[in-house]
A and B are shown apart, each in its own frame.
Chain A
Amino acid sequence: MTGGYDERCAADLANVCEGRDLSRQDRAWLARAVTGAMRPNRDKPLWDLAHALTALAQLAGARDGRDLVTLALDPDLARAATIEARFSGARAGSAEADARGLVIEGAGWRITWSGLARLLALAEFVLTAEDLAGIATLSGWFDELAREPGAEAAGFLSKRLARHLAAYRNAHLPLAPLERRFRAILGFLHGRSDFGDDDVLEFWRAEMGEDERPGFRTIAEHFVTFEAVVSALGGLAGLRAAASLDSDEAWHDRVDTSLADIVGDEPAENLAAMLLGLPEGPKILTGAERDDLVDLLRLDPFHRTRPLTTLRAVSFGRVQSGIANRLRRGGGGGEVAERAACIDAEPYDAIAVRAACLAAHLKLMVGIAACLRLPAETADAALRAALQAAEADLKRVRRSGFDGDRVALAAGFAAVDETLVRTAEEVAALIRAMQNLEARRPLPEIFAADRPIFAETLTQAYAGESVS
């Protein structure tokens, strides 16, 4: 996998996120806790979890590990407000629940109610991961904690949990290739933090000389992350300071906030996920239209800021994934050589036309969504005219679900209209960015210059397969 995790890990995380209906911020936090993207200490969440369980064991009078598992999985304790309602004001042993959250006296440890809700989500993750493979071991460890809940037991449990999660990461999070590639990007940029479209291209070409032959899109995704991280942490110096694990304490919270933003704040990335997850209903978007939109917007924010890299990924990225698929299926020979020559690569102006068609279709659908949602009688003459036009458009659409029940159609639109509006905005931004690019040099010229570069790189990289 190119994302640094396997399907098992994705499913383990999705089970917890869905089961607890976690917010986007909490999903991002849990993802960071799982991959270790926490600083200054990668395993701080596990230290906190062990202490939270120690406090809960005392406040809830847990007799054994089972009682702690019950607390961790309890759906009534999935929200800060319900945890607070249950424990606020409680006091037992060294644990106390004050107005803000849990405290362990003498240990100098505390956590807010919302922090505790996240920790319990992490507890559910470690308990249920890998089809519950670890639950017996973990509940045995919890037994020991429940017998003598205290600072010593908490420290011991947190070490055990850290080892447990490290083993999980070894098995399900192949981060080494990503790490190697980011190191190569840092070396390639020679201390620069800004880069251009041609840097992405040149770096990809260098990587294609190695064994892994990463996709152009995969490399572009690395640059997306690199840009987001460097910008959130205030440049390369900020990145190095955050990563060094020994920054001064006053800085910790700021680093944590930045890391949370890097993972949690990516509205248009979620847009790709939203598009792929659109519910069944009227055929507002065909499968092909949806896939095209995801293809165009997937490198967010590059569709707005680096249209050329977006065009390259859409056109030549597809050629390359075609070759990779062909090789995976055991093909080779002449066909690979033919594809590598990029004769069939989609020209950039054709992609621009395709984007314009999608934009027009989205505009039509957004109009129909409005006329289904708003009353036709309105004092605003311009709005009334727009709604009437949309009504006429609606009658002309020949797609499944559009000719029947108006109530069902309206419900189908209501479920997706927010996604539609946001998608329309992003496609419009892409089109503007491409127009700015075109203003400097015509798209066919740029494509004509790029094609031989991609053809040469792909031909060389896949030459071994072409002759076989």
Chain B
Amino acid sequence: MSAPSDAAAARLLAELHAARHLARGSRRSEAEARPSLSAAALWAHVRRVPGRPVSLAVERQIRDDPATGRRYRAMLRSQALAHTPLAIAASDGAVVQRRLGSFALEIVPPDAEAMALLLIRGVAEGASAPSLIEAALGAEIVRLELGAPIAGTIVLALDPEVAETALLARLAADPKSEIFLL
């Protein structure tokens, strides 16, 4: 039988033993795999504002390195008001709808007089409204700013002449793409 104070002493010894070994191993050799982008660099990319310059190196890493892409999406999800990890899209004819949490996303196709529109419905009064939308599919990523909601709905014109909105229209229509509302 050991004395009761031995239990506390043994616990401290165990914690110190693990800490010593951990501290020793905390400088890895060059050869070992390590994340190529710092958490800070990824986070800055998560918080980027559309239209401002971004690091192409960061974009390339997210696109080309699956582990970096996973870390980026984990950060993005943590900040999104809503997102679709998978398509829960119901497509009927030309109109695509999907649900993102409490929001409904809808594309109204163009007609003779107006270009296509992206509608985000369900912004409750007083609740925080999304200010950004990001859509991603494979190597393609697009992020756009959203305007203020009017009567609970945000409207974004999908101008086919503008590269970003054209890409968003295509990605939003694809049930395989991932969409984040930030």
Answer yes or no: B99 CB below 8 A from chain A CBs.
no
A243 interface residue, CB < 8 Å from B? yes
Say yes or no: is B11 at the interface (Cβ < 8 Å to chain A).
yes
For the complex, what is the distance from the CA of A30 to the CA of B23, rounded to whole Å? 8
Stretch from A154-162, A172-180, A316-324, A329-337 that touches the partner: A172-180
Interface string of A4-22 (1 = CB under 8 A from B): 1100011001110111001
| A-contacting residues, B35-90, CB 8 Å | 35, 38-40, 43, 47, 70-71, 74-75, 77-79
Contact A187 B2 (CB under 8 A): yes
Chain B CB within 8 A of A280 CB = yes
B93 within 8 A of A: no
Q: A4-B17, A35-B19, A277-B28 are in contact. Are A186 and B71 (CB under 8 A)?
A: no
Q: Which of A234-266 contact B (CB under 8 A)?
A: 236, 239-240, 242-245, 259, 262-264, 266
Question: B9 and A239: CB pair below 8 A?
Answer: yes
Question: A279 on the interface (CB 8 Å rule)?
Answer: yes
A376 at the interface (CB under 8 A from B): no
Cβ-defined partner of A182 (8 Å) among B5, B9, B20, B26: B9
Interface size on A, residues (CB 8 A): 75
B interface secondary structure, majority: helix
Contacts of B70 in A (CB 8 A): 131
Residue in B14, B26, B28, B78 whose CB lies within 8 Å of A135: B78
* A363 adjacent to chain B (CB < 8 Å): no
Residue of B nearest to A39 (CB): B12
Q: Does B111 contact A (CB under 8 A)?
A: no
- Contact flags (1/0) for A126-163 with B, using CB distance below 8 Å? 01100111011001000000000000000000000000
Closest to B29 in A: A277
Q: Does B13 contact A (CB under 8 A)?
A: yes
CA distance A14 to B23 in the complex (A): 9
Q: Is the CB of B39 within 8 A of A17?
A: no
Residues of chain A within 8 A of B19, CB atoms compared: 28, 31-32, 34-35, 37, 263
Contact partner of B22 (CB less than 8 A), chosen from A5, A139, A242, is A5
Contact of B9 among A28, A31, A240 (CB under 8 A): A240
| CB of A269 within 8 Å of the partner chain | yes
Tell me, rounded to whole Å, the shortest Cβ–Cβ distance linking B134 to chain A. 15
Interface bracket on B: 35 or more
Complex partner residue of A3 from B9, B21, B40, CB under 8 angstroms? B21
Instruction: Indicate if A61 sits at the interface (CB-CB under 8 A).
Output: no
Closest to B71 in A: A132
Interface membership of chain A positions 177-195, coded 1 if the CB is closer than 8 angstroms to chain B and 0 otherwise: 0111011001100000000
Assess whether B30 is in contact with A277, with CB atoms less than 8 Å apart. yes
A229 within 8 A of B: yes
Q: Closest A-chain residue to B78, C-beta based? A: A136
Q: A3-B22, A186-B2 are in contact. Are A17 and B27 (CB under 8 A)?
A: yes
Mask, A276-291, CB within 8 Å of B = 1, is 1111100000000000
Q: In the assembled complex, which residues on chain B have CB atoms less than 8 Å from the CB atom of A28?
A: 19, 23
Within 8 A of B (CB), among A204-226: 221-222, 225-226
A127-B39 CB under 8 A given contacts A31-B22, A186-B9, A280-B30: yes
A468 part of interface (Cβ distance < 8 Å) = no
Please report the C-alpha to C-alpha distance between residue A37 and residue B11 in the assembled complex, in whole angstroms: 9
Smallest beta-carbon distance B50→chain A, Å = 16
Closest to A34 in B: B22
The reply to whether B13 and A182 form a contact with Cβ atoms under 8 Å apart is yes
A370 within 8 A of B: no
Q: How far is the CA of A144 from the CA of B43 in the complex (A)?
A: 20
Which residue of B2, B9, B21 is within 8 Å of A5 (Cβ)?
A: B21
Cβ contacts under 8 Å, B43 to chain A: 69-70, 73
User: Does the CB pair A242–B24 fall under 8 Å?
Assistant: no
The minimal Cβ–Cβ distance linking B130 to chain A, given in whole angstroms, is 14
Min Cβ gap A165→B in Å is 13
Judging by beta carbons under 8 Å apart, are A225 and B20 in contact?
Answer: yes
B138 within 8 A of partner (CB): no
Task: Decide: A262 near B27, CB < 8 A? Known: A37-B12, A225-B13.
Answer: no
Q: Which residues of A contact B25 (CB under 8 A)?
A: 3, 10, 13-14, 273
A105 CB-CB contact with B under 8 Å: no
Assembly CA distance A187 to B62 (angstroms): 54
A344 close to B (CB within 8 Å): no
Q: Which of A75, A266, A280 contacts B20 (CB 8 A)?
A: A266
Using CB atoms and an 8 Å cutoff, list the residues of chain A in contact with chain B.
Answer: 3-5, 9-10, 13-15, 17-19, 22, 24, 27-28, 30-32, 34-37, 39, 42, 66, 69-70, 73-75, 124, 127-128, 131-133, 135-136, 139, 173, 175, 178-180, 182-183, 186-187, 221-222, 225-226, 228-229, 236, 239-240, 242-245, 259, 262-264, 266, 269-270, 272-273, 276-280
A-B pairs with the 6 shortest C-beta distances? A4-B18, A136-B78, A37-B15, A178-B14, A183-B10, A277-B29
- In the assembled complex, 24 residue pairs joining A and B whose CB atoms fall closer than 8 Å, in A order, are A4-B14, A5-B18, A5-B21, A32-B23, A35-B22, A37-B12, A39-B12, A74-B40, A75-B38, A128-B39, A132-B39, A132-B78, A135-B74, A135-B75, A179-B14, A183-B2, A186-B10, A187-B1, A225-B13, A239-B13, A243-B8, A263-B20, A269-B20, A272-B24
Additional A-B contact list (10), CB under 8 Å, known A3-B18, A13-B22: A27-B23, A31-B23, A35-B16, A73-B39, A128-B39, A131-B74, A135-B74, A175-B14, A243-B5, A276-B29
